[in-house]
Chains A and B, each alone.
Chain A
Amino acid sequence: MKNYFVYAIIFSVIFFGKSFPQNSFHTQSNILIFADHLFCEKDFLRAIDEYLRIENKGDSTKLKLAFSYQKINNFDASSFQFLELKNTSVADIASLNFYKSSYLAENFVSLINNFENENFISEKYFSFISKLYLTARIKANHNIDKNFDFGAFEKSEQETVSVLVKRQLNPKYKSETMAGVLSTLIPGLGKIYTQNYGDGITSLIVTGLLTYLSVNNFDHNHQFKGWIFAGLSSYFYLGNIYGSVASAQIFNANYNRVTQEEIDKFIYENNYFLPKEADWNCK
């Protein structure tokens, strides 16, 4: 009889205890469930808040936290969180995303250094990471020479890579000095050299016309007008030399832009050399 009472008290304490805290939605386990739900809903900013409230995070939780940081473009935090997962059960996927975070943050130098010092490289995904590393080197134009080894890439990728390497190794720049000198010799020639044909011809016409007007006025003894046109002519002549140098610079900047965009396109189309994205148990 007494035993029954004891059982009853124990059971009731258990049952009460279960629901007694002010709000059971905020227990550790429920926070985790809710955080995972937010993660699956792709509300990463709020998922981060919830994950941070969990005191003893499991590896997969930490991984999701790091991944959420990456998704909201907070690459410093995501790199840090991925690095924390060294020597855990999810180290492989963390290592890959650690390198991806560095790439997305455009921290190419640290990415290259980490790889070369064999910092946190997953053996399972070595080939993927080395591709990411090589692309980062091409993108940052870091130590690229004739012997650049792109054996790590697949046959189908090698063609694109060799084009990109060539663009970085032997860029078809226009020389600024050359543009300046050409424009000094014949106004507008420097612009034609930098492929701004219309501007070059206009420049020649403008300077030519003003010089002609100046000479013509001097011939007719209009000293004042002559000097005015001479001044304008030399002003546009100097402006043309300046403009040719500037246009060579812009040509080169455009060349670099195209190179960078092609590298971005290449790596984006290959999904940053990540294997198929992990299934996060989302319904």
Chain B
Amino acid sequence: MKIFTIFFILIFLSGNEFLFAQDELNNQFQKAEKLFKEEKYFDAITEFKRVIFFDSENKYDYESYYKIALSYRAGNKLSEAIRYFSLAEQSAQTRDEILNAKFEIVKLNILRRTTSSALNLLDKIESEFPEKQNDVINWRGWAFIFKDDWESAANEFNKIDSLKWIADFCKNIENSKYSVRFAKIISYFLPGAGQFYSGNYLSGFLSLGWTGLWTYLTVNSFVEKRIFDSVMIGNFLWLRFYNGNIQNAEKFAIAENQKISNNALEYLQNNFKGKKP
């Protein structure tokens, strides 16, 4: 009888070992979390990998993969982050976890500006999880912002009342942008006009001056019946500066638009309080 008691105690003790293992796993996970919070991302990844490796019941898989992905993301290693978010998605237990990982992948695709895959993923999420439509719309809007398509973004955000502010913001940005086509067309008619339109007055004056000078010289030679000179000046000088003027009109308009977009993105990154990638 007493022997049985002792065996029982021994079995109980060995059972304790199992309990300890769970505690240890938790300890290890906390340790990794601590490194993550201290922004020691490289080491945090090692410790999370250790958790996954020793976690025979796959209890911490989702959280660890998720945290590894977040660490890679914090180190601006986006494709690896995506890889680990997909691993997290595969080891997810609940619907929420799956959704979470999926949205993280979408966010990274938005940041990487691989917009088409972000939009594809969002379409899939929309059909599988109809209840999350608001989030899908929000991220679709952000995907368009990063694609520099502010009008589509505004249309997307407009579908939800709570996103009114950012919809208006996008609309404003779209309206404040220069039309590249318009800049080019007015430069065809009046050299330098496109540059004036986008606010590059110096370059506009130079273009106007040069083309004016060469036009005068070409016409003058023609009038004075020096046809050879006229053709040469017209072909090699006038045409060159005229072409350059149109190229510049386009180049400056694009550059100004880029500046506007970048300012807007910077503002959103620093000041926007809502959900953002």
Instruction: Report A-B touching, CB under 8 Å.
Output: yes
State A197–B199 Cα separation when bound (angstroms). Answer: 47
Q: How far is the CB of A179 from chain B (nearest CB, A)?
A: 33
Q: Decide if B10 touches A37 in the complex (CB within 8 Å).
A: no
CA distance A15 to B54 in the complex (A): 19
Are B2 and A1 within 8 A (Cβ)?
Answer: yes
Knowing A12-B10, A37-B53, A46-B49, the reply to whether A4 touches B16 (Cβ < 8 A) is: no
Judge whether B21 and A19 touch: CB under 8 Å: yes
Contacts of A266 in B (CB 8 A): none
Instruction: Write the chain A residue with the least CB distance to B47.
Output: A25
A33 CA to B49 CA in the complex, in Å?
13
Tell me the smallest distance from the CB of B31 to a CB of chain A, in Å: 8
Chain A minimum-CB-distance residue to B17: A19
| Contacts between the two chains (Cβ within 8 Å), count | 52
- Whether A4 lies near B54 (C-beta < 8 A) is no
Least CB distance, A68 to chain B, in whole angstroms: 14
A11 touching B54, Cβ below 8 Å = no
Contacts of A46 in B (CB 8 A): 45-46, 49
Does A220 reach chain B (CB closer than 8 Å)? no
- Residues of the A chain whose Cβ atoms lie less than 8 Å from the Cβ of B27: 22-23
What string of 1s and 0s marks CB contacts (under 8 Å) between A1-33 and chain B?
Answer: 100100110011001101110111100001001
* C-alpha gap A50/B49 in the complex (Å): 12
Q: How many residues of A contact B (CB 8 A)?
A: 24
Residue among A12, A19, A20, A22 facing the most chain B CB atoms (10 A cut-off):
A19
From A14, which residue of chain B is reached at the shortest CB distance?
Answer: B13
Q: Knowing A8-B9, A11-B10, A15-B13 are in contact, say whether A49-B46 is a contact too (CB < 8 A).
A: yes
Smallest CB-CB separation from A15: which chain B residue? Answer: B13
Does A43 have its Cβ within 8 Å of any Cβ on chain B?
yes
- The answer on a CB contact under 8 Å between B45 and A18 is no
Q: Total interface residues on B, using CB and 8 Å?
A: 21
Q: Among A1, A46, A50, find the residue whose CB has the most chain B CB atoms closer than 10 A.
A: A46
Q: Which residues A110-138 have CB closer than 8 A to chain B?
A: none
Please indicate the chain B residues that have their CB under 8 angstroms from the CB of A1 in the complex.
Answer: 2
**Bound-state Cα–Cα, A1 to B5, Å:** 12
The complex places the Cα of A46 from the Cα of B53 at a distance, in Å, of: 14
Contact partners of A267 in chain B: CB under 8 A: none
Which residues of the partner chain B approach A50 to less than 8 Å between Cβ atoms? 46
Complex CA–CA separation, A49 to B28 (angstroms): 17
Tell me whether A15 and B17 are in contact (CB under 8 A). Answer: yes
Q: Answer yes or no: B6 CB below 8 A from chain A CBs.
A: yes
Contact A25 B24 (CB under 8 A): yes
B31 closest partner in A (C-beta): A23
Beyond the given A15-B14, A25-B24, A34-B53, please list 17 additional residue pairs across the A-B interface where CB-CB is below 8 A: A7-B6, A8-B6, A8-B10, A11-B13, A12-B10, A12-B13, A16-B13, A19-B24, A22-B27, A23-B24, A23-B27, A23-B31, A25-B50, A30-B54, A34-B50, A46-B45, A46-B46
